[in-house]
Amino acid sequence: MCAMTDSIETSDPLQKIKDQANAQKLRASLLPPKDAMQDASSMAVEPSASDGARMDSLGSLGESDVGDSVNVRPSFQRLAVGKTPTMSADMMDRSMSVTRTRSAQPDAVKKVNTTRPLVVRESSVILCIRPAKGSCSGFNIKDYKIGKKIQDRMTQGLLFSKEGHLVIDGSWEVLLAQSEVQNNLKTTPQKTVPMRFAGEWKTAGGGRDEGESAREAAIRELKEEFLVDLPEDQSQVNIHLLEVSQTPPIKSVSDIIYIYVAMSQENPWLENIDVDAINAKLAKKREDFKEVCASGAYWKMNFLEKEHWSPEIYELSWLDMGEAVKHMYTSMCDEEGIYVNDYQKREFERLGLTCRDPMLLTMFVLLELDSFPSVDQLIEYTKDKEEAKELRAQQWLFPSMAPMEVAGALQNKLMNSEKWGLMFRSTEERTKLITTRKKAKNLTVGRIHA
C-alpha cells in the first residue's frame, strides 16, 4: 500500500476545479444520512479490553477470534483482492480523510473505527464437533447483566425466548481450547502482558502463511494450537467451509474469516482424540516454559524460538453447546466476578484484570452450528460452498478504502442486508430452522430451557 500525500497537484486549473467539485459530490454520497447514524453506531464493534486488541471475529470469528498469534506471529497476511476508485477526486478525499484529526471527522466515520485507508486481512478458523453425549446446559436472560457496549438486538434477540429462556437445540458438543491469560510471547522480565481473549474458550485459528490456502491454514492452526495428531495426507482430514465472514473495521483493519467445521463422524482422528493426553502435553509445556524462563535462556531467544517454548493454550475440553454459548455470552456482561472457571479467576486477580474480552462472533458461529441437528444436513449445506465464490458474495470492505467509503459501505450493509453473515438471525428464525430441519429427519423437536 503506497503512502498518501496531503494533497494532489495538477497543472490544469480547470481540471483542478472539476476535481474539487467531484470530491464534494463523492463525500456527500458516501456519508450516511442522519437517521442511519444510530444504526451504524449500534453495529460498530468495540475494541477488546486487553492490549488494545480488536474484538473476536472467530477468534469476532471478532475475533476476529482467531487466536493471539494473529497479532504476534510473523505470518503472511494476504490482502483481499478488490477494486478501488482511481479518480483523482477519490484520491483527494482519501488523503483528506487520513490527515483529518479524529475529533474533526464526521460521526459516521468515527463510529466505524477507521481513521486511515483500510487494511483487509484473511484468516481461518476451525470448529471440531461431535454428537452430544449428555444433556445440554441452559441459562436465563435474568441470570446475567449484559454489557452496555453490546446492543440488545445483537444478543438477547438471538438467544432467548419471550419467557427469557435460552433457545438452543444442543445436538452437538464442541471442542474448545481455553487460552492462557498471560501473553508469554509479549511478556518481558519487566512487564507482564495479557493475551487477547485471556482465559476464554476459543477455536483453533489464525492468519494465513504465505502460499497457504484458507483450508490449509485452518488445518495447520488446528495441529499447532490443539496439538492434534492429524493424518499426513490432508485429503483424510474432512473439513467443510461453513461461512466466510468479514468483520466491521477496528482501528482501520477488517478481517475476512474462513470458518470451517470438522465432524467426528467423518474423522477418526477426531472421534478418537485423547483430550486428557493433550492436556498432559500442555501441562508439561507450561513446566518446561517455567524452567527455561528461570534459567534466563528464554529471554535471549529470537521470536521463533520463543514461539516454540511459549504456552498459548491452557487446556482443551468438550463443551455442550449450551455451556459454550453461556461462556461467550458472559464475556460481554457488565458484572465483574463472572469467570469461565477458577483458572481464569486466579490469573485475572494475579494480573489485575477486571474485564473479559467479548466473544461475540464465536457465539454467532456456535448458534449457526446449533441450527443443524444432523451430520447430513450440515454436509448438504456446505457441499457447494467454495472459498472464492463465498468471498465474492460476502466481502463488503476492500483494501485502501477511505474512512468515508467505509462509512458508506456500512450504511449500505445495514440498510440492504437481510442477514449479516452469521449475524441478524433472530430467536424465532433459529427456532423455525431447527424445527424444520428436525422434522425433515423425523427427530424430536424441543427446546432447552434454563
62 or 172, which is more confident?
172
Range with the poorest average pLDDT among 49-63, 237-251, 331-345, 436-450? 49-63
Q: Say if CB 343 and CB 159 are below 8 A apart.
A: no
Gap between the Cα atoms of 191 and 171, Å rounded: 44
Q: Quote the pLDDT of residue 62.
A: 36
Gap between the Cα atoms of 403 and 106, Å rounded: 10
Q: Quote the pLDDT of residue 113.
A: 61
Confidence band of 115 (pLDDT split at 50, 70, 90): confident
Q: In sequence order, what are the residues at sequence separation of 6 or more whose Cβ sits closer than 8 angstroms to the Cβ of residue 416?
A: none
Q: What is the pLDDT of residues 194-224, one digit of tens each?
A: 999 999 999 999 999 989 999 999 999 999 9
Gap between the Cα atoms of 105 and 110, Å rounded: 7
H/E run at residue 132:
none
In order of start, what are the domains of the chain with their CATH numbers?
Answer: 16-440 (3.90.79.10)
Gap between the Cα atoms of 193 and 180, Å rounded: 11
H/E run at residue 355:
none
What does the block give as the cell for 95?
Answer: 488523503
Confidence band of 46 (pLDDT split at 50, 70, 90): very low
Average pLDDT, the chain: 77
What does the block give as the cell for 322?
Answer: 449450551
Pick the closest to residue 76 from 213, 252, 197 (CA basis).
213
pLDDT at 152 over 90: no
Q: Quote the pLDDT of residue 69.
A: 34
Sign of the alpha-carbon torsion through 154, 155, 157, 159: positive
Gap between the Cα atoms of 241 and 383, Å rounded: 8
446 or 145, which is more confident?
145
Looking up cell 444433556 gives 135
What is the mean predicted confidence (pLDDT) over 306-310?
Answer: 93
- Residue 187, phi then psi, degrees to nearest 5: -70, 140
Q: Quote the pLDDT of residue 176.
A: 98
Pick the closest to residue 197 from 332, 84, 43 (CA basis).
332
**Can you list the positions of beta strands (E) in 310-426?**
313-320
What is the mean predicted confidence (pLDDT) over 256-277?
Answer: 96
Confidence band of 250 (pLDDT split at 50, 70, 90): confident
DSSP letter string, 323-351:
HHHHHHHHTTBS-TT--SSHHHHHHHHHH
* Angle formed by the axes of helices 403-416 and 13-30, nearest 10°: 40
pLDDT at 26 over 60: no
- Region label for 199, one of left (φ > 0), alpha (ψ between -120 and 50) or beta (otherwise): left
Q: What is the pLDDT of residues 406-434, one digit of tens each?
A: 888 887 776 666 555 555 467 888 888 88
Q: What is the pLDDT of residues 374-385, one digit of tens each?
A: 999 999 999 999
C-beta neighbour count of 201 within 10 angstroms: 26
H/E run at residue 206:
strand 204-207
Confidence band of 440 (pLDDT split at 50, 70, 90): confident
pLDDT at 337 over 80: yes
Q: What is the pLDDT of residues 49-103, one digit of tens each?
A: 333 333 343 444 434 433 333 333 333 333 444 443 333 444 433 443 333 334 4
Q: Name residue 130's beta-bridge partners.
A: 173
18 or 431, which is more confident?
431
Helix-strand-coil percent breakdown of the chain, rounded to 5?
A: 40, 15, 45
How far is C-alpha 315 from the geometric centre of its chain's CA atoms?
20
Pick the closest to residue 428 from 236, 202, 167 (CA basis).
167
Q: Quote the pLDDT of residue 112.
A: 58
Confidence band of 304 (pLDDT split at 50, 70, 90): very high
Gap between the Cα atoms of 178 and 450, Å rounded: 24
Q: Quote the pLDDT of residue 149.
A: 56
